Structure 1
Amino acid sequence: MNLNFSIIIPVYNRPQEIDELLESLTKQDFSDAFEVLIIEDGSENSSKEIVNKYNNQLDLKYYFKENSGAGASRNFGMEKASGSYFIILDSDVIVPTQYLSEVKKALEINYTDAFGGPDAAHKSFTSLQKAINYSMTSVLTTGGIRGKKKGVGKFQPRSFNLGMSKKAFKKTKGFSKMKNGEDIDLTFRLWENEFETQLIEKAFVYHKRRSTIQQFFKQTFGFGTARPLLNKKYPETAKLTYWFPSIFIIGFDLSIIAAIFGYNQLLYFYGFYFLLIFVDSLFQNKNLYVSFLSMITSLTQFLGYGLGFLESQFYPKKDN
């Protein structure tokens, strides 16, 4: 099978992240040629100077366009790309040396017109970034259904690490104008057009995500607002499990109120749950501080997603 990869990377005011990502791409143990397209989405802090550093090491194409969001920038890049298979990466990832080799190997064994890969925390990440990664990937949180073959239903690729054939892009027209949940929307349209998706477990990336609790809350809040819109757009995909973060947060509030009146049983349940988070994170990260932060980031994840979901469910804003 002749797979020609084009790597599409939208960037907005993050030149330092692009530097780390491009450096990791120069270290691929991959013998085939591949191109890299950087789509600068109207940044005030341009990454062009950083990109120019790698012109002699990578087949690079740099485009500057007016700000229109990540989805439109990815579509722009795929329109410009010359490859037969597109790989979409967020600018805040670092790619392991074997990444492209693992993608090619998996697609040669089991070809699908789209795939997704998991994410992990790099040893260089801050303690908070490691804690956020734990919360977003742990089996003890809603992140546990992401990046797992045993997750709920068919695998839904996420845009920080996503591949799609040129054929599938032409058929689906790529990402929609949704500000959040555009990758899930794309997955549903891929399925509607009878394209298969798969998880390539070994094609993981190191994903920085957000660097503060406030940024992480805002991100998860956005994820939460997207789900009711997707449920309305694709009612056959709606599941009761999507309500879980909201129910969790409501229950947490009720447990505190009940404790004020001397009823501590529900609060004990939440205390035991966060103790499990602490122990599990300690087992995975071998760091007490990261384990402590994991309790905070897990609560932040539930709070952000749960509140975003409730707001969008009962006070929906127009989104495409």
Structure 2
Amino acid sequence: MRSPRYSIVVPVYNRPQEVDELLASLATQTFRDFEVIVVEDGSTLRCDTVVDAYRDKLVLHYFFKPNSGPGPSRNFGYAKAAGEYFIVFDSDCIIPPDYLVSVEKALQENGWDAWGGPDRAHANFTPVQRAMGYTMASVLTTGGIRGGKKHVGAFQPRSFNMGISRKVFEATQGFKLDRFAEDIEFSIRMRNMGFRVALIPEAFVYHKRRTSFGQFYHQVSNFGKGRIQIGRVHRGGVKLAHWFPAVFLLGTGVLLFLPLVSWPLFVLAFAGFVVYLLAIFVDSLRVNKDVTVALLSVPAALLQLWGYGLGFLKEKFKTIH
């Protein structure tokens, strides 16, 4: 039996509804030479019945394993894959019909060893999800340090939308870390080994991220922790720009006490703070064309910066001690 061109690996933990939506989108792909490997990472709410409903539409393989985190689960899927290229999607993604067409075109033209693509907000996403999606991609927050056309350093694919060749997996053995910054570490290691890694702008996905601000704060806090972990593994993994959320967090803390020190200085600093938040509102309105999403982008940006900054400093403090 001929091997497929692509093996799509989806690790999942307690998200059967999201897997349903993901598989439904994969069933509409215009490029059909692929298999799907669903790795259930010790879920108590399994998605095996959801997977079974798509067996007449997709080439599907389902595996259940003890919980170990997303990194090892993706490696488990890689080891089961038969394709020439391996693609990882998060279970909360929806894939546009021409995603694989865009990837195939880029690989035929450039022969990349590994790639990543951006994410976008789907029209069906809630205003909160769209606001969080905007702030995660915006250069006004941490978008400039997360990978993309405008980013700090070389492009680093993220695991919600990442592809690698079989030879990359065989040389690297996949993800080294269990969670948080496992995709960044993997991206850096691929480049250090000489593999050609690229952004394919047309290969985007619709990424839901979290459904509430509380979940979002917890997620970005882990991102901040992960960045420090990257610095432990790779020299130079923490750049000056990665300190921005931590500096912003400390700055807002100082702002609360400035009236006790100097009222004019407080007014000047507070004005700058308001201008920054206004810039986020205006830019989100430009991008999303929705006043509600633009308004929600302001607290989303604050939670993102505070959460990332606090996680970053906590993990950094652990490093010092």
Q: Please state which band the TM-score falls in when normalised by the shorter chain.
A: over 0.9
Q: Tell me, yes or no, if the aligned pair for 2:92 and 2:209 is still in contact at 8 Å.
A: yes
2:166 counterpart residue number: 166
Partner of 2:148: 148
Compute the displacement of 1:238 (Å): 3.0
State the match for 1:236 in structure 2: 236
Give 1:64-213 correspondences, 5 Å limit. Answer: 64-213=64-213
1:57–1:3 distance in 2 versus 1, CA, 3 Å: closer
**Contact 2:69–2:178 (Cα < 8 Å) also in 1:** no
Distance 1:260 1:119 in 2: 44
Letter in 2 for 1:256: L
TM-score (norm 2): 0.95
Q: What secondary structure is seen at the aligned counterpart in 1 of 2:64?
A: strand
Question: 2:13 — aligned with what?
Answer: 12
Structure 1 runs (4+) deviating above 4 angstroms are: none
Q: How many pairs does the alignment contain? A: 316
**1:265-309 alpha-carbon deviations (Å, 9 max, x no partner):** 111101100001111111111222111110000000001100000
Q: Does 1:271 align with 2:274?
A: yes
Contact persistence 1:136–1:144 (CA under 8 A): no
Amino acid at match of 1:231: G
Change (3 A) 1:317 1:157: farther
For 2:106 and 2:193, locate their aligned partners in 1 and report how far apart those are by CA, in whole Å. Answer: 22
2:4 and 2:82 in contact (8 A); partners too: no
278, 282, 290: which one aligns with 2:293:
290
Cα distance in 1 between the residues matched to 2:157 and 2:85: 15
Deviation of 1:235 (Å): 1.3
Amino acid in structure 2 at the alignment position of 1:293: L
Distance in 2 (alpha carbons) for counterparts of 1:45 and 1:132: 26
SS state at 1:315 partner: helix
CA distance in structure 2 between the aligned counterparts of 1:222 and 1:167, rounded to whole angstroms: 30
Aligned counterpart, 2:313: 310
Distance in structure 2 (CA, Å) of the matches to 1:292 and 1:123: 17
Per the normalisation by structure 1, the TM-score is 0.95
- How far, CA to CA, are the matches of 2:96 and 2:120 in structure 1? 10
Amino acid at match of 1:315: K
In the alignment, which residue of structure 1 is the partner of 2:283? Answer: 280
- Once the two structures are superposed, residues 15-66 of structure 1 have per-residue CA deviations (whole angstroms, 9 ceiling, x without a partner) of 0000000000111111x42100000111111101111110000000011111
Gaps of 5+ in 2: none
Q: Output the CA distance in 2 between the equivalents of 1:191 and 1:114.
A: 9
CA-to-partner distance for each residue in 1:231-281, whole Å, 9 max, x for gaps?
A: 122113331111111001111111222145523111110110000111111
Question: Residue 61 of structure 2 aligns to a residue in which SS?
Answer: strand
The one-character-per-residue Cα deviations of 1:62-97 (angstroms, maximum 9, x if unpaired) are 111111111111000000010010000000000001
- Report the Cα distance in structure 1 between the residues aligned to 2:7 and 2:59, rounded to whole angstroms: 10
Q: Distance in 2 between matches of 1:131 and 1:90?
A: 19
Identity, in percent, stands at 48
1:299 is matched with which residue? 302
Distance in 2 between residues matched to 1:317 and 1:42, nearest whole Å: 34
RMSD of aligned alpha carbons: 1.6
Q: Which runs of 5 or more residues in structure 1 are unaligned? A: none
Letter in 1 for 2:279: L
Distance in 2 (alpha carbons) for counterparts of 1:39 and 1:170: 20
